[in-house]
Amino acid sequence: MIIDKLYERVKERGFVCVGLDPVFDNLPKRFTDLGVCDGLFAFNKEIIDATADLVAIFKPQIAFYEAYGLEGLRAYEKTVTYLRDKDLLSIGDIKRGDISSTAKMYAKAHFESELRTDFITLSPYMGFDSIEPYLPYLESGDHGVFVLLRTSNPGAKDLEYLIQEDGRPLYYTVADKLEEMGKKFIGKCGYSSLGMVVGGTHSEEAIEIREKYKNAFFLIPGYGAQGGKAEDIRNYLADFNGGVVNSSRGIINNYKKYDDGDDKVGFYARAAVEAMKKDIFNE
């Protein structure tokens, strides 16, 4: 199952997830001179090649490609194809949340077409029938999903923290249902291919969440630029597995801190990954 492959990658290469969220207009000239499609892809490829042996998975956020129309989407397609060809794992960060036939088409697009990735992100807050159309792909063992649970943005408290009749925040109600749905997709590693997105910027309940949802593999955003601290992130992991920790800007824009950075994008991305791992490992 795909979750077993991800678990093994974390064991081999560590828990880092690199977010591939490039802003074309802000890239070094040697990339923008290539045009949108080739420039975005060349930037991503340099980062992928420089970090692949140190990270578990890569996560392109589709908005950073859709913003540039067809040329941007071609760059997204070239990026996820390159990852597949290199046997590198990917999360298509698409955050879809619709229902019925629309959700089926989203699933077909991101699990069958040239845009396909190993995992995608979903939003459950339209209802759990927004998740069900993706489940046949999980049954195949070839794909997985990460469903938004408790996110890292300040506005998470507008809805996700609403207190329910049992006295718990809404996100616990969501987690209970996702855990039940995910039982059908548990791999040999003990985790389900139906994972959860748990933001690393709210540390208060980290230990409780990890303890309560033992079979849930976490996608943990929020480290670095969004304020998530290493000591908090560690509480969401289980012996430094059971989750992947995403960093986007902190890795892909690290080159901007250095005078020679424009010429050494991959070099400084790798340095950022190494520093992130040391920080979370507390080395």
Active site residue 95: yes
pLDDT reported for residue 205: 75
Q: Which residue stretches of the chain are H helix?
A: 2-13, 29-32, 36-51, 63-66, 69-85, 100-112, 135-139, 156-159, 170-182, 206-212, 230-233, 249-252, 265-281
pLDDT reported for residue 208: 86
- Alpha-carbon distances, residue 49 vs 33, 79, 148, 166, 207 (angstroms): 21, 12, 29, 49, 35
pLDDT reported for residue 156: 79
Residue by residue, pLDDT tens for the chain (283 residues) are 999 999 999 999 999 999 999 999 999 999 999 999 999 999 999 999 999 999 999 999 999 999 999 999 999 999 999 999 999 999 999 999 999 999 999 999 999 999 999 999 999 999 999 999 999 999 999 999 999 998 878 887 888 888 988 998 888 999 999 999 999 999 999 999 999 999 876 666 788 889 999 999 999 998 876 566 788 889 899 999 999 999 999 999 999 999 999 999 999 999 999 999 999 998 6
pTM: 0.95
CATH number listed for the domain at residues 2-281? 3.20.20.70
* Spans of all domains in the chain: 2-281
Contact 199, 233 (CB under 8 A): no
Tell me how many degrees the CA angle 121-152-118 measures, rounded to the nearest 5: 20
pLDDT reported for residue 203: 67
Selecting among 11, 95, 104, 229, the annotated active-site residue is 95
Give the Cα separation of 83 and 15 in Å (integer). Answer: 17
